[in-house]
Amino acid sequence: MKISLSIGANLGRRAATLRAAVRRIAGLPGTRLLGASSFYATAPWGKTDQPPFLNGAVQVETSLTPLELLHETQAIERDLGRVRHEHWGARTIDIDLVYAIDGTQVVRSHTPELKLPHPYLLERAFVLEPLKELAPDILLEGRSITSWCEKNAGQGVEKTNELADPWPLQMIACVAKNRGIGKDGRLLFHIPEDMEFFKKQTKTDGSVVIMGRKTWESLPHTLVGRLNIVLSRTIWNAQTNFKAPPLGELSSASETERVAAFEVRDPSERLSMAETALPSPPLRGTSPKGGGLRAGDGLSEFLEQLWNNQPGRPFWVIGGGTLYRQLLPYTRRVLLTEVDATPAADTFFPALDGFCCIKKRPAETSGVVFVEYLRKDICYRV
């Protein structure tokens, strides 16, 4: 059964919460994510004395019944901080089932708990416009979705540049047969063909590379032509020459010579891109000399701003082991240079249980293969 859902939020970090909701929906049992739309800025509907919304659409294929899916999405709403105070009121997250097809038949439900198709589907541009992005050929009550969108034009719905991809990260690494990637703070392999592959993949327009402190310290110099983001649990010292630019400069060409530094203030804090409705993300932006990033800026907020300045720019995670492991839940694609050798290692790349291999290419170097992995719980690419 294919089911279309509408998602929206007008409180807290709206885009982050919507991305978290999509990840949760994709992870439901018996469910595969067919598509997730861009985000749309929307004037309030029904109750207008509240902040503007950010809306999107999600389409899934699922073995769950519509009622079972409803209960699962209500649990997701609660987990992400939804509290139901008033009808059509402000909310941290809203997930509605709006349309379902079983084979070729439209699913209809008219119970007090669930009504399908959604009774306001044909009246809400903030539902129709994102849904049109995912299913442009869909017919609603005998008319094309484009026709319904035209009928509801003028409701203040506008596509935004907000980061909508629930998995915006890509990873790249060179790994041994035992998944080892390093020892004593240094890479296991220095293969010229792999180095060229790394440069070709990561040095593209607007590229951002995210790394841990040890990875940064192992580099002979800043990765030129890319914005370097360094994450650390330690206090910066005089030997660590970070230069964090003011956020206002990040859209300029000078960012390719810059390094943005993030410090985890409490060493016990988990290094992550946790995206919830909580007011303070665990990562805090900092500059060793007091300038640059505003205190309290989290990594995901920072990436959002970079994306908004230049939509479509790639975000690469390049090491080390802890960072790979903790950012993997936010990663769509992994590129590995796999080496047929097992040197001693103390740092390892995490298992890719949630990914499938989609491409292999032997390198010219003997015993080396370039392999591409893609997240399994989605079947579309952006």
User: So which residues are the catalytic ones?
Assistant: 82, 91, 94, 96
Q: 225 in the Ramachandran plot: left (φ > 0), alpha (ψ -120 to 50) or beta? A: left
d(CA 196, CA 205): 17
Question: Which segments of 78-122 are extended strands (E)?
Answer: 94-102, 105-106, 109-110, 115-116
> φ, ψ for residue 57 (rounded to 5)?
-130, 150
Residue 239's identity, in one-letter code, is Q
> φ, ψ for residue 381 (rounded to 5)?
-125, 145
In eight-state DSSP terms, residue 177 is T
Omega into 320 within 30° of 0, i.e. cis? yes
> φ, ψ for residue 314 (rounded to 5)?
-85, 145
d(CA 309, CA 161): 8
The token pair at 339 is: 């080496």
Based on its alpha-carbon atoms, the radius of gyration of the chain, rounded to whole angstroms, reads: 23
Is the Cα torsion angle 100, 102, 106, 112 positive or negative in sign? Answer: negative
The CA-to-CA distance between both ends of the chain, in Å, stands at 23
Residue 287's identity, in one-letter code, is S
Structural contact between residues 342 and 177, judged by C-beta atoms closer than 8 angstroms: yes
